[in-house]
Protein backbone atom coordinates (compact mmCIF):
# COMPACT_ATOMS: atom_id res chain seq x y z
CA UNK A 1 0.00 0.00 0.00
CA UNK A 2 1.26 3.46 -0.89
CA UNK A 3 1.45 6.02 1.93
CA UNK A 4 1.46 9.68 0.87
CA UNK A 5 3.00 12.02 3.42
CA UNK A 6 0.83 14.99 2.59
CA UNK A 7 1.51 18.53 3.75
CA UNK A 8 -1.55 20.78 3.67
CA UNK A 9 -1.60 23.40 0.90
CA UNK A 10 1.33 21.97 -0.94
CA UNK A 11 2.78 20.31 -3.99
CA UNK A 12 1.74 16.92 -2.70
CA UNK A 13 -1.83 17.63 -3.83
CA UNK A 14 -0.57 16.63 -7.29
CA UNK A 15 0.30 13.16 -6.05
CA UNK A 16 -3.19 12.62 -4.66
CA UNK A 17 -4.64 13.70 -8.01
CA UNK A 18 -2.34 11.32 -9.88
CA UNK A 19 -3.14 8.37 -7.62
CA UNK A 20 -6.83 9.03 -8.19
CA UNK A 21 -6.30 9.16 -11.97
CA UNK A 22 -4.43 5.86 -11.82
CA UNK A 23 -6.91 4.23 -9.46
CA UNK A 24 -4.10 3.03 -7.19
CA UNK A 25 -4.98 2.45 -3.52
CA UNK A 26 -3.23 4.74 -1.05
CA UNK A 27 -3.31 6.10 2.47
CA UNK A 28 -2.71 9.70 3.46
CA UNK A 29 -0.67 10.85 6.45
CA UNK A 30 -1.41 14.51 6.96
CA UNK A 31 0.94 17.20 8.19
CA UNK A 32 0.13 20.80 9.04
CA UNK A 33 2.42 23.71 8.32
CA UNK A 34 3.85 25.75 11.17
CA UNK A 35 1.50 28.75 11.31
CA UNK A 36 4.31 31.27 11.80
CA UNK A 37 6.98 29.96 9.42
CA UNK A 38 4.76 28.03 7.02
CA UNK A 39 7.40 25.28 7.09
CA UNK A 40 6.67 21.57 7.36
CA UNK A 41 6.69 20.02 10.87
CA UNK A 42 9.86 18.22 12.01
CA UNK A 43 8.12 14.79 11.86
CA UNK A 44 8.49 14.84 8.07
CA UNK A 45 12.26 14.60 8.56
CA UNK A 46 11.73 11.19 10.11
CA UNK A 47 10.33 10.02 6.77
CA UNK A 48 13.02 11.62 4.58
CA UNK A 49 16.03 13.76 5.63
CA UNK A 50 14.84 16.76 3.57
CA UNK A 51 11.57 16.91 5.49
CA UNK A 52 9.68 18.17 2.42
CA UNK A 53 6.42 17.14 0.89
CA UNK A 54 5.54 15.20 -1.15
CA UNK A 55 7.19 12.00 -0.07
CA UNK A 56 5.69 8.57 -0.48
CA UNK A 57 6.37 5.13 0.93
CA UNK A 58 5.53 2.02 -1.03
CA UNK A 59 6.20 -1.28 0.73
CA UNK A 60 9.00 0.35 2.71
CA UNK A 61 10.52 2.14 -0.31
CA UNK A 62 10.70 5.90 0.33
CA UNK A 63 10.50 8.18 -2.71
CA UNK A 64 10.86 11.97 -2.45
CA UNK A 65 10.70 14.80 -5.03
CA UNK A 66 7.50 15.23 -7.03
CA UNK A 67 9.01 14.44 -10.43
CA UNK A 68 10.63 11.25 -9.16
CA UNK A 69 7.40 10.19 -7.45
CA UNK A 70 5.40 10.87 -10.61
CA UNK A 71 7.79 8.76 -12.70
CA UNK A 72 7.72 6.02 -10.06
CA UNK A 73 3.91 5.95 -10.25
CA UNK A 74 3.91 5.88 -14.07
CA UNK A 75 6.17 2.80 -13.85
CA UNK A 76 4.00 1.20 -11.22
CA UNK A 77 0.94 1.73 -13.44
CA UNK A 78 2.70 0.10 -16.43
CA UNK A 79 3.17 3.36 -18.29
CA UNK A 80 -0.27 4.89 -17.75
CA UNK A 81 -0.07 8.72 -17.97
CA UNK A 82 3.54 8.28 -19.11
CA UNK A 83 5.39 9.33 -22.25
CA UNK A 84 3.24 9.21 -25.40
CA UNK A 85 4.37 6.94 -28.26
CA UNK A 86 4.86 9.79 -30.72
CA UNK A 87 8.44 11.12 -30.52
CA UNK A 88 7.58 14.81 -30.58
CA UNK A 89 4.96 14.35 -27.87
CA UNK A 90 7.36 12.22 -25.83
CA UNK A 91 10.00 14.94 -25.95
CA UNK A 92 7.47 17.56 -24.87
CA UNK A 93 6.36 15.22 -22.09
CA UNK A 94 9.92 15.03 -20.80
CA UNK A 95 10.43 18.77 -21.15
CA UNK A 96 7.37 19.78 -19.10
CA UNK A 97 7.99 17.08 -16.52
CA UNK A 98 11.34 18.72 -15.69
CA UNK A 99 10.38 22.31 -16.44
CA UNK A 100 7.63 22.45 -13.80
CA UNK A 101 9.94 22.25 -10.77
CA UNK A 102 13.22 23.08 -12.54
CA UNK A 103 12.29 26.34 -14.27
CA UNK A 104 8.82 27.60 -13.49
CA UNK A 105 8.58 27.10 -9.74
CA UNK A 106 11.80 28.94 -8.71
CA UNK A 107 10.71 32.49 -9.66
CA UNK A 108 7.22 31.84 -8.26
CA UNK A 109 8.72 30.72 -4.98
CA UNK A 110 11.08 33.68 -4.95
CA UNK A 111 8.14 36.04 -5.34
CA UNK A 112 6.29 34.35 -2.48
CA UNK A 113 9.30 34.56 -0.16
CA UNK A 114 10.11 38.18 -1.08
CA UNK A 115 6.50 39.27 -0.65
CA UNK A 116 6.71 38.23 3.00
CA UNK A 117 9.63 40.55 3.73
CA UNK A 118 8.28 43.81 5.17
CA UNK A 119 8.69 47.05 3.12
CA UNK A 120 11.56 46.06 0.81
CA UNK A 121 9.82 42.84 -0.18
CA UNK A 122 7.02 44.48 -2.14
CA UNK A 123 9.48 46.42 -4.31
CA UNK A 124 11.60 43.33 -4.89
CA UNK A 125 8.63 41.32 -6.15
CA UNK A 126 8.27 43.86 -8.99
CA UNK A 127 11.67 42.77 -10.25
CA UNK A 128 10.63 39.13 -10.24
CA UNK A 129 7.36 39.55 -12.13
CA UNK A 130 9.01 40.02 -15.58
CA UNK A 131 10.86 36.72 -15.01
CA UNK A 132 7.56 34.99 -14.29
CA UNK A 133 5.93 36.62 -17.33
CA UNK A 134 8.48 34.99 -19.65
CA UNK A 135 7.26 31.61 -18.40
CA UNK A 136 3.59 32.54 -18.52
CA UNK A 137 3.90 33.76 -22.13
CA UNK A 138 5.67 30.58 -23.16
CA UNK A 139 3.14 28.33 -21.45
CA UNK A 140 0.29 30.28 -23.05
CA UNK A 141 1.78 29.98 -26.53
CA UNK A 142 2.33 26.22 -26.14
CA UNK A 143 -1.12 25.55 -24.69
CA UNK A 144 -2.64 27.48 -27.59
CA UNK A 145 -1.25 24.84 -29.95
CA UNK A 146 -2.48 21.61 -28.36
CA UNK A 147 -5.00 20.43 -25.75
CA UNK A 148 -2.47 19.16 -23.19
CA UNK A 149 1.17 19.94 -22.47
CA UNK A 150 2.56 16.91 -24.33
CA UNK A 151 -0.08 16.61 -27.04
CA UNK A 152 -3.58 15.27 -27.54
CA UNK A 153 -3.75 13.22 -24.33
CA UNK A 154 -3.42 14.15 -20.68
CA UNK A 155 -0.17 12.86 -19.17
CA UNK A 156 1.85 13.12 -15.98
CA UNK A 157 3.39 16.27 -17.49
CA UNK A 158 0.03 17.99 -16.99
CA UNK A 159 0.00 16.82 -13.40
CA UNK A 160 3.48 18.26 -12.84
CA UNK A 161 2.52 21.56 -14.47
CA UNK A 162 -0.72 21.95 -12.51
CA UNK A 163 1.03 23.26 -9.40
CA UNK A 164 3.08 26.03 -11.06
CA UNK A 165 -0.07 27.09 -12.92
CA UNK A 166 -2.05 27.18 -9.67
CA UNK A 167 0.73 29.06 -7.92
CA UNK A 168 0.90 31.53 -10.82
CA UNK A 169 -2.86 32.01 -10.65
CA UNK A 170 -2.76 32.80 -6.95
CA UNK A 171 0.37 34.98 -6.81
CA UNK A 172 2.19 35.08 -10.15
CA UNK A 173 -0.06 37.33 -12.22
CA UNK A 174 -1.78 34.60 -14.23
CA UNK A 175 -5.26 35.81 -15.22
CA UNK A 176 -7.79 35.78 -18.07
CA UNK A 177 -5.33 37.68 -20.29
CA UNK A 178 -3.83 34.22 -20.91
CA UNK A 179 -6.98 32.29 -21.88
CA UNK A 180 -5.39 28.99 -23.00
CA UNK A 181 -3.63 28.62 -19.65
CA UNK A 182 -6.75 29.54 -17.68
CA UNK A 183 -8.76 27.04 -19.75
CA UNK A 184 -6.20 24.32 -19.05
CA UNK A 185 -6.42 24.96 -15.32
CA UNK A 186 -10.24 24.88 -15.44
CA UNK A 187 -10.12 21.58 -17.35
CA UNK A 188 -7.82 20.11 -14.71
CA UNK A 189 -9.97 21.32 -11.82
CA UNK A 190 -13.09 19.83 -13.43
CA UNK A 191 -11.67 16.31 -13.56
CA UNK A 192 -13.39 13.93 -11.12
CA UNK A 193 -10.00 12.49 -10.08
CA UNK A 194 -8.70 15.98 -9.27
CA UNK A 195 -11.79 16.67 -7.16
CA UNK A 196 -11.47 13.29 -5.42
CA UNK A 197 -7.84 14.06 -4.53
CA UNK A 198 -8.88 17.46 -3.26
CA UNK A 199 -11.59 15.99 -1.02
CA UNK A 200 -9.12 13.55 0.50
CA UNK A 201 -6.26 16.03 0.86
CA UNK A 202 -7.98 18.63 3.02
CA UNK A 203 -7.18 22.35 2.98
CA UNK A 204 -5.77 23.53 -0.37
CA UNK A 205 -5.80 27.20 -1.28
CA UNK A 206 -4.99 26.94 -4.99
CA UNK A 207 -7.88 25.07 -6.59
N1 LIG B 1 10.99 20.28 -5.79
C2 LIG B 1 10.45 19.64 -4.61
C3 LIG B 1 9.99 20.70 -3.64
C4 LIG B 1 9.49 20.16 -2.35
C5 LIG B 1 9.01 21.27 -1.44
O6 LIG B 1 9.66 22.33 -1.25
N7 LIG B 1 7.84 21.08 -0.83
C8 LIG B 1 7.25 22.08 0.00
C9 LIG B 1 5.74 21.98 -0.10
S10 LIG B 1 5.05 22.83 -1.43
C11 LIG B 1 7.56 21.86 1.46
O12 LIG B 1 7.64 20.73 1.90
N13 LIG B 1 7.66 22.97 2.22
C14 LIG B 1 7.79 22.93 3.62
C15 LIG B 1 9.19 23.12 4.10
O16 LIG B 1 10.08 23.44 3.30
O17 LIG B 1 9.40 22.98 5.32
C18 LIG B 1 9.31 18.72 -5.01
O19 LIG B 1 8.64 19.02 -6.01
O20 LIG B 1 9.08 17.69 -4.36
From first to last of its 207 residues, the chain has per-residue pLDDT tens of 999 999 999 999 999 999 999 999 999 999 999 999 999 999 999 999 999 999 999 999 999 999 999 999 999 999 999 999 999 999 999 999 999 999 999 999 999 999 989 888 988 999 999 999 999 999 999 999 999 999 999 999 999 999 999 999 999 999 999 999 999 999 999 999 999 999 999 889 998
Pocket probe for ligand 1: among 8, 9, 11, 17, the residue whose CB has the most ligand atoms within 8 Å is: 11
| Per-residue pLDDT, 122 | 87
| Per-residue pLDDT, 90 | 98
What would the pLDDT profile of 57-79 be if each residue is shown by its tens digit?
999 999 999 999 999 999 999 99
Instruction: Return residue ranges of the chain for CATH 3.40.30.10.
Output: 2-81+193-201
The pTM of the whole model exceeds 0.85: yes
Rounded to the nearest angstrom, the distance between the alpha carbon of 70 and the centre of ligand 1 is 15
What is the number of the ligand 1 atom nearest to the C-alpha of 40? 17
Rounded to the nearest angstrom, the distance between the alpha carbon of 135 and the centre of ligand 1 is 20
Would you tell me how many other CB atoms lie within 10 Å of the CB of residue 27? 11
Rounded to the nearest angstrom, the distance between the alpha carbon of 133 and the centre of ligand 1 is 23
| Per-residue pLDDT, 97 | 98
| Per-residue pLDDT, 21 | 98
Superfamily of domain 2-81+193-201: Glutaredoxin (3.40.30.10)
What is the number of the ligand 1 atom nearest to the C-alpha of 64? 20
Residues with CB under 6 A from ligand 1: 7, 10-11, 39-40, 52-54, 65-66, 101
Least Cα distance to 167 among 82, 100, 118 occurs for 100
Rounded to the nearest angstrom, the distance between the alpha carbon of 138 and the centre of ligand 1 is 24
What would the pLDDT profile of 171-194 be if each residue is shown by its tens digit?
999 999 999 999 999 999 999 999
What is the number of the ligand 1 atom nearest to the C-alpha of 34? 17
Least Cα distance to 196 among 26, 5, 74 occurs for 26
| Per-residue pLDDT, 203 | 87
- Determine whether domain 87-191 maps to CATH 3.40.50.150: no
- Residue 186 exposed, middle or buried by CB count within 10 Å (0-12, 13-18, 19+): exposed
CA–CA dist 14, 200 (Å, integer): 12
Instruction: Return residue ranges of the chain for CATH 1.20.1050.10.
Output: 87-191
CA–CA dist 95, 161 (Å, integer): 11
| Per-residue pLDDT, 119 | 86
Amino acid sequence: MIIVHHLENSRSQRILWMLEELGLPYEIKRYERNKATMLAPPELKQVHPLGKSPVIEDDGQVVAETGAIVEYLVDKADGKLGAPANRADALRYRFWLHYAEGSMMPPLLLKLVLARIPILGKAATKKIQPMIDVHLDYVESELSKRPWFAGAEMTAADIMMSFPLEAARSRGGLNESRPATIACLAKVHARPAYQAGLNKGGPYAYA
